[in-house]
Chain A
Amino acid sequence: MSAEAQSATLVAEQFEDLEQQKSADTFGMWLFLVTEVLFFGGLFCGYCLYRNVYPEAFEAGSHLLKVTYGAFYTVLLICSSLTMALGVRAAQLRLKTSLTVYLILTWIMGAAFVFIKLRYEWYGDYLEGLVPGVHFAPHGENLEIIHHFHALLPHVSLFFLFYFCMTGLHALHMVVGVGLLTTLLIFTQQGKNTQGNYYWVEMVGLYWHFVDIVWIFLFPLLYLIGGRYV
C-alpha cells in the first residue's frame, strides 16, 4: 500500500512507527496543557485569595466591567471551538476544502476576539482610568458604588490588576493560537493535514479548546459574580 510508504516519511527517526509518534505527540500536548493549567493557576490562586479578602471591592470592580463584552466573547469562543472541532473532524475524514473553511472561520473568530478585546474593551477601560496601580482613578460610568465605598479604591485596583493579568495572559494565548491556525492553514494548502496525519490539526485543536476553557472560567469570575445586581 502506498499509504505505508507515505507514512514512513512522516515518522521521525526516533519513533518506531506513526502510531507511536502520534500517541507521543498527543500525550506531549496534553502535558503541555497541564503546565498551562498551573501557569494560569498562580493567577487564579491570587484571584481567589483577594476576592475572598475584599469581596465588596471585587464586586464593585466587576460592576465596572461591561458584561456585554464578556458574554459576546464567550459566545464567540464557543463558536470558534465548534468550528475547530468540526475542522478536526474534517481532517479525520481527509476533506481538504471543509478543513480549510473551518480553519478560516476559527481564525476569523480568534482574530476578532483579540481585536475587539484590545481595540474596544481594553482601550475603553484605559480611557476610564481603570488601569491598576498608583494611577488607578476610575472616571467612567457606574461609579456610584465606588463613591459609596471610597476606601475600597485600592482594592478595586487589585481587581483590575487581576482582570488585566488574566485576560491579558488569555489574549496572549489567543494570539499564539491564531498564529498556529495560520501555520495550519498553510500546511493544509500544501495538503499535509488531509493525508492521514490529521493530528497536527487535532493538537492545535486541543490548544484552542483549552484557551476556550480558560475563558469559560474567566467570564463568570470577572464579569458576573456579585457584580451584576448591585
Chain B
Amino acid sequence: MSTVAVEAPSLPEVHYLNADYGWRSWLFTTDHKRIAWLYLFSITFMFAIGGLAATLMRLNLVEPSGLLFEPASYDKLFTAHGLVMIFFFLTQSIPTVLGNFLIPIMIGARDVAFPKLNLLSWYIYVLGATIFIISLVTGGIDTGWTLYTPLSTTYANTNVLSATVGIFITGFSSILTGLNFMVTIHKMRAPGMTWFRLPLFIWAMYATSVIFVLAMPVIAITLALIALERIWHVGIFDPGLGGDPILFQHLFWFFGHPEVYILILPSMGVISELVAAGCRKRIFGYSFVAFSSVAIAAISFMVWGHHMFLTGQSVYAGLVFSALSFAVAIPSAVKVFNWTATMHKASVSYDTPMLYAIGFIGLFTIGGLTGLFLASMGADVHLHDTYFVVAHFHYVMVGGAIMGYMGGLHLWWPKMTGKLYPEAWARFACLLVFVGFNLTFGPQFILGYVGMPRRYAVYPAEFQVLNVMSSAGASILAVGYVIPLIYFAWSVFKGPIAGPNPWGAKGLEWTIASPPPTHNFHETPIVTEEAYAYEPEAAHVG
C-alpha cells in the first residue's frame, strides 16, 4: 500500500515544533524529538570544529615541509580533529539525533523511558564539550586522540588534564543515552511490536546501546587514571616507577575498539532503513542482518589487541586477537551481501537517501576489506601506524558512518521538519561527497603502503603528489558537507511541504503526521505486521 501523496499535502496544525514557543520550551524540553534537535545543533557545531581542523591539516600537508604550521601546532590540530570527531561528533551523531528522534516513534511509544535523563544527557554533553573547547582554545592538546602513556601523562605539556575532564564528562552522557535506549527498546514497545517486527535500525541502536553501557565506563576510569597520574605522578603507567605503559593501551582499546563499532553500527542500521525505503522491499535475510548487529557488538569487545600487535604485546595474545578480528569481519560481510541482495529485483529509487546508501555499501566494503589487512598480524608489521590505517578507518568512519548519518538525515528530514529539501542540490552534494571522499582517502592507501607514517607534520618529498591529491579531495569533500547545511536551513523556511510519507515507505514513523505531534501517536498503535511489509502492486490493485 504505497501512499505517495497525490493531493497537495499540508502541515498539521499542531505538531511538536509549534506546540510550545520560547527558549524555555527548548532548553527544558523532555520531548525526545526536541532533544534530537538540541543534539543536532550541538554536534553540527562540533563537526564544524573537527572539520576545520581537518581542512587546516590537509592544507598544511600540501608542502612536504608544512605549508602553514610548525609541527607543534599541527599536532594539536590532528589531536583536536580526532578527539572532536570521535568523542563529540560521531559517537553522538546517529544515536542522539536520529536515534532520539526515531526510536520511540519506530517502536510506537510516546517518548523514551526516561525523558528527563535524556535531557540531562544533553546537558552533560554540552558541559563536557564546553570544557573540551575551552581546553582547545586555551592551548590545545597534542597527544593524539589515543592519549598514549607516558606521553600524555608525563611528557606532554599541553592541556591534557582539562581535555580529559571534558571527555570524561561527555562519556557519562553516552552511558546514560545507551541506558535510556536499552530500557526504551525493552520496555516501551507498542503492543504487537515483537523483537522480530522491529525495524533493523532499532536492532542496530540496541547493539550500540549495549556497547555504550559496557565500554564507556572503562574509558571513564582510564581517563581518571590519566588525570591521577598527571597530577600526582603516582606511577601507574610510568615504567620508572614500576608501571606498565601497555596496560594503558589495554584499558584504552578495551573501550576504543567497541567505540568504533559504536560509530559504525548505527550507520548500518540506518542503511538498512534507507535500502528498504529506497527499494520498497523487505530487507533480504532480516534475521541475519539483525543478529549480525548483535554479533558485531559482542565480538567487538574481544578484538581490542589488534591495535597493539607491535607494542610488544604477547604473540600469543596477538594470535587470539587477530583470529577474533577476522571473525568480526564475517557479520559485516553478511550485512553487505544482504543489502546488495535486497536491491535485486527491487524498485530502486534515485532519491538522495538511496544514493547515500549505495555510496555507503561500496565504501564500507572497501573500508571493511582493508580492515582485513590490519587484522592480520603479518600485514600489520608494515602497515601499522601508516596512512594505510588512516585511510582504512576513514573509509569506515566517513565513507561508512557519516554517509549513513547524512543519508539518514535526508530520509527523515521531511519527518523532522515537515518540509522537503531541494532534491537536485542534495544529489549534487552527495556526488561531491562521494568523489571528494575517494580522492581524499584513496591516495592515502598508497601513501601508507609506500610507508608514510601517520601524524607527520613534515614528510619526505617523494610523498608530495599523493598528499596534494588527498588535499584536493578534501576541499571537494568540504564543499560537499557545506551545501547540505545551506539547503537544509533553506528548506526549514522555504521548502515545499512534505506530507506524512513522501517516500512511500513503510514503518510507524511514516504513519503519523510530519512533523509528528508531541506525543507521536494519538492512540497507542497496535502492530500487526512485520517491518518493511511492502505490498506488491498486484495485491494492491486487487
Contacts and interface: CB of A to CB of B under 8 A. Distances in A.
A and B, direct touch (CB closer than 8 Å)? yes
Of A14, A45, A49, A157, chain B has the most CB atoms within 10 Å of the CB of A14
Interface residues of A, number: 38
Interface stretch (A19-27, A212-220, A221-229): A19-27
Interface string A21-56: 001100110011011111111110110011001100
B242 A38 contact: no
Interface of B: 104, 109-115, 175, 179-180, 182-183, 186-188, 213-218, 220-222, 225, 228, 232-236, 241-244, 247, 250-251, 519, 524
A44 B356 CA distance: 44
A133 B183 contact: no
A45 B243 CA distance: 14
Given A24-B187, A154-B235, A158-B241, A39 B109 contact: no
| Chain A interface SS verdict (over half) | helix
Contact of B242 (A16, A28, A54): A54
A75 interface: no
A154 B180 CA distance: 43
27 contacts: A13-B110, A14-B110, A14-B112, A15-B113, A16-B524, A24-B114, A24-B186, A27-B182, A31-B183, A34-B213, A35-B175, A35-B179, A38-B215, A39-B220, A39-B221, A42-B222, A42-B225, A46-B236, A49-B244, A49-B247, A53-B244, A132-B232, A133-B232, A133-B235, A134-B233, A158-B236, A158-B243
A39 B217 contact: yes
B234 A35 contact: no
A35 B110 CA distance: 26
Contacts of B104: 14
Nearest to A35: B217
Nearest to A57: B242
B415 to A, nearest CB: 20
Given A14-B111, A46-B247, A154 B242 contact: yes
Contact of A31 (B179, B216, B228): B179
Nearest to A54: B242
Contact of A36 (B111, B217, B234): B217
B236 A24 contact: no
A36 B114 CA distance: 19
Nearest to A36: B217
A133 B233 contact: yes
Interface of A: 12-16, 20, 23-24, 27-28, 31-32, 34-43, 45-46, 49-50, 53-54, 57, 132-134, 154-155, 157-158, 161, 165
Given A41-B221, A50-B244, A57-B242, 16 more contacts: A14-B110, A14-B115, A15-B188, A24-B187, A27-B183, A27-B187, A28-B113, A39-B217, A39-B220, A40-B221, A41-B218, A42-B218, A45-B251, A46-B251, A155-B242, A157-B235
Contacts of B242: 50, 54, 57, 154-155, 157-158
B102 to A, nearest CB: 15
Given A134-B233, A157-B241, A24 B221 contact: no
Contacts of A40: 221
